[in-house]
Amino acid sequence: MKKQIGRLSFASMLTAGAVMGVTGCGVSDPAAGVYGPPPGNGIVEDADEPMPEVYGPPEFFDTEAEEPEETDEEHMIVTFYSDDESVSIVQDFDAGTAYIVDGDEEIPVEIADGIYGPRIMKCDVDGDGEDEYVISECEGTGTGFSTRGLCIVEKKDSDYRMTRYDWDYFAGIIERRLTYTYDAAEHKVIFWIENEDAIIEYPVTLEGEDELEDVVFTDIVDVYFEDGRVYLSAASGLIFADHGWPEYEQGIEPYAPITIDTDSGIIVGDFTVRPDDGVK
């Protein structure tokens, strides 16, 4: 499946009474899905290609969210700022709409509405000399899971184009490149990370006596920004015989840089391992 591209304009949002963004997943994985209405609300390239599955945001459960910086309590409108406070996203959780605020300009975007809210950064991430907006959208949160996707918004002529890589896309990469083996006699789990030129072996001797039953890598997937770069991380949750929910304190948290090209294509680089601090 080729990349699908939607064009965004604030005027079209006002006319239709909703955000008119067609999202593209920019992937070759046919299992990847996108949020939002089926293509047709914007200008779509490669319309003869098979369309991805379309589905709504995942159901999320009661959880304690970070306190927003600005909130309209009557209509649950929340403003989320970039780290340098140069740009922000205003998200109306009741109406299901959102828009970027950059000075006097407002740019409608269609993003997931998970309770932790989005993160945003304005930066020339593809090296073309022009700034793009990159958004880490919160797709779902709850007890034992938190998932995010990546949206890239860039100006093309007089229109804005948004490309989305959702949790499903990143989960596919993580599941192909991260695995484990368990040595019951030594009570040791060995994490295996497949990078481009090498396979990393990372052994962890487990505490306690409960036998390990499984390890999950895609329940906590984060997309975050640091020093003008975009990163993907995947915490490993260990499931022991005495309880059925993942435990993260003894796991690892591999992370990898995401490189973005001038056509909003992405490459997830080599994973590096750091001990997981257990704070999610």
Residues 32-42, mean pLDDT to the nearest whole number: 33
**More confidently predicted of 212 and 5:** 212
pLDDT grade, residue 143 (50/70/90)? Answer: low
Q: List the structure tokens of 90.
A: 């205003």
Are the beta carbons of 34 and 25 closer than 8 angstroms? Answer: yes
**Same domain, yes or no: 183 and 85:** no
Is 163 a domain residue?
yes
Q: What is the largest CA-CA distance in the chain?
A: 66
**Same domain, yes or no: 117 and 195:** no
**Same domain, yes or no: 143 and 36:** yes
**Same domain, yes or no: 154 and 255:** no
Say if residue 146's pLDDT is above 50: yes
Residues 260-275, mean pLDDT to the nearest whole number: 92
Range of the domain at 90: 6-170
**So what's the pLDDT on residue 119?**
97
The whole-model pTM stands at 0.72
**Residue-wise DSSP of 24-81:** ----S-TT-EEESSPS-SS--SSTTSPPPEEEPPPP----PPPPPSEEETTTTEEEEE
**Same domain, yes or no: 195 and 163:** no
Is 74 a domain residue?
yes
**So what's the pLDDT on residue 71?**
54
**Same domain, yes or no: 236 and 178:** yes
* 36-40, 67-71, 91-95: range with highest mean pLDDT: 91-95
Strand, helix or coil for residue 92: strand
Is 276 a domain residue?
no
Last residue of a domain, one of 152, 170, 188: 170
**Same domain, yes or no: 84 and 128:** yes
CA dist., res. 182 & res. 92, Å (int): 46
**More confidently predicted of 167 and 12:** 167
pLDDT grade, residue 141 (50/70/90)? Answer: confident
- Quote the number of domains for the chain: 2
Residues 17-32, mean pLDDT to the nearest whole number: 35
Is 59 a domain residue?
yes
**So what's the pLDDT on residue 145?**
76
Say if residue 5's pLDDT is above 50: no
**So what's the pLDDT on residue 157?**
83
Strand, helix or coil for residue 17: coil
**More confidently predicted of 88 and 72:** 88
**Residue-wise DSSP of 254-279:** -EEEEEE-TTS-EEE---B--B--S-
CA dist., res. 108 & res. 38, Å (int): 17
Say if residue 236's pLDDT is above 70: yes
pLDDT grade, residue 222 (50/70/90)? Answer: very high
**So what's the pLDDT on residue 235?**
93
CA dist., res. 108 & res. 9, Å (int): 7
Say if residue 32's pLDDT is above 80: no
Q: Output the average pLDDT for the chain.
A: 78
**More confidently predicted of 29 and 204:** 204
**Same domain, yes or no: 148 and 213:** no
